[in-house]
Amino acid sequence: MAVGLLASAGCAAQKAFNTAQQEAHRDNWDQAVLQYSKASALDPGNEAYNIALTRAKLKASAQHFEKAKRYAKSAQWDLAAAEYQQTLLLCPGNQHAADELDKALIMIRRRDELPSDIERMKEQAQKDMLSP
């Protein structure tokens, strides 16, 4: 019975690995990471799975970093911050992404501290009503 379970786990790991390979060929790195992670969890001693997982994490991290830069360039700070965070989840040692995340968070705080356009218009309307 134990042999059957091991064979089943090995089969499931190979299936996850094959699915991950297909996703990687499509440049769908997030899905590849999920499938490589599954394969690696089912067969932790398989170096091919572990190496492929590391490679997929780097590729997925790079995709999220590029997406974050595009969002930051267009001042979409919330989206940029989310993508930088995803980058860091996949590649925790990426200091450049950490620095860029800090910048995005500063921009979010600045934006949130400023009065909104509607608040400024209300203030201006009140000033206009009070002036002779």
Judged against a pLDDT cut of 90, whether residue 115 lies above it is answered with no
Residues in the chain: 132
Mention every residue, 6+ apart, whose C-beta is less than 8 A from residue 83. Answer: 64, 65, 67, 68, 71
| Angstrom distance (rounded) from CA 23 to CA 28 | 5
Between 123 and 63, residue with greater pLDDT: 63
pLDDT tens column, 2-34 = 444 445 667 999 999 999 999 999 999 999 999
Residue 102 phi, psi (nearest 5): -60, -45
**Cα 71 from chain centre:** 13
pLDDT tens column, 39-62 = 999 999 999 999 999 999 999 999
